[in-house]
Structure formats: C-alpha cells, structure tokens
Amino acid sequence: MAIEQTPAGIRVKVSLPYAEAVEKTVAALKAEGFGVLTTIDVKQTIKEKLGEEYRPYVILGACNPPLAHRALTAEPEVGLLLPCNVVVYEEGDSCVVSAMDPTAVAKVMPHPELQAVAKEARAKLERVLQQVAG
C-alpha cells in the first residue's frame, strides 16, 4: 500500500484487525529505534470521561532517543513538538496507521539541524508505515 500524505502527517490503511495493527505498529517503531513513551487509549478515555462510545483509537507517543537528543541540542524549544505521535484507529473494516510528519512540524522552527533531524525521522516513520502495511 502507498503512503498517503495528509496535512499533518503520513498514513496507510491496512486490512488488519485493530489489535494486530497496534501490535505491528509498536513492533515496527521499535525496529526503527523508537520507544513508545505514552499510550493513550482514546476510546477508553472518552468512555470514562464523557460516557460516550468511540471507535478503537490509540495515540502512541514515540521517541527515537538519538534523534530527539540532536533536535533538543539544536533547539531546546523543539521539546514542545515531541514526541512523534503515531495513531492507530479503526475505519470501517480496516485500520489507519498515521504518523505525524516531522518535516511539516520542523517548518515551525527553521533551524538547519532540525530540518536534517526531521528528514531522518520522517524516513524512519515511512519505513514504520511500510512495515505495518507490508
């Protein structure tokens, strides 16, 4: 499947059950050097806080320590834009796996080193999406 560009990120649709899509996404992130620092179960949170039903949806706060260190060293305020969020959610009978586009976010802070880090991070996130879609 081809990676689709969205206004804020890059995404793929996969014909996998939700739990498997999440599992494959976490494994692919790990393979590219990302750790998942936070996991937000949006469906559960909306149910608990609002009493509303929502589709299965998770936000994964992913961090690649070497890239984060380079970015933070170049510009400490970039921490406002970290970690790289990746979402997995059901859409009909398939799932969407979407990652923030670091190159789009880096435009907010036009620092040469941040641009380089963003390009590397995007390449890694593209490989994550390709592995999940694989």
95-124 mean pLDDT = 92
Buried b / exposed e along 6-40 (16+ C-beta atoms within 10 A): eeebbbbbbebebeebbebbbebbeebebebeeee
**pLDDT for res 94:** 95
CB 40 within 8 A of CB 59: yes
**pLDDT for res 27:** 98
Could you confirm whether domain 4-129 is CATH 3.30.310.70? yes
**For strand 84-91 and strand 4-5, is the pairing parallel, antiparallel, or unpaired?**
unpaired
Buried b / exposed e along 57-79 (16+ C-beta atoms within 10 A): bbbbbbbbeebbebbeebbeebe
User: For the segment 48-103, what is each residue's pLDDT rounded down to a tens digit?
Assistant: 999 999 999 999 999 999 999 999 999 999 999 999 999 999 999 999 999 999 99
d(CA 23, CA 94): 15
**pLDDT for res 119:** 95
* Whole-structure pTM value: 0.94
How far is CA 83 from its chain centroid?
A: 9
Q: Given a cut of 90, is residue 105 above it in pLDDT?
A: no
**Residue spans per domain, the chain:** 4-129
